[in-house]
């Protein structure tokens, strides 16, 4: 079994990984994302951060 967690921002992504998520899914901040809300989702620049 694998634990897959959503992450709408960088702190949520880090928390998911630190708490045992095997995989994390994210959304990009663009017009193709139905959940395009302020404070949520990642830019391409955010995806490159470590």
Q: pTM here?
A: 0.71
Query: In sequence order, what E strands does the chain have?
Result: 4-7, 23-26
Where are the chain's structural domains? 4-48
8 touches 40 (CB < 8 A): yes
What's the confidence (pLDDT) of residue 46?
Answer: 73
What's the confidence (pLDDT) of residue 10?
Answer: 86
- Would you call 40 helix, strand, or coil by DSSP? coil
What's the confidence (pLDDT) of residue 44?
Answer: 74
What's the confidence (pLDDT) of residue 27?
Answer: 80
Q: Which residues of the chain have pLDDT under 70?
A: 31-39, 49-50
Rg (CA), the chain: 11
What's the confidence (pLDDT) of residue 35?
Answer: 67
């Amino acid at each position: 079994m694998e634990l897959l967690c959503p992450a709408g921002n960088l702190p949520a992504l880090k928390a998911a990984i630190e708490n045992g998520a095997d995989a994390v899914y994210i959304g990009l901040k663009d017009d193709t994302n139905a959940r395009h809300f302020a404070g949520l989702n990642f830019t391409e620049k955010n995806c490159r951060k470590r």
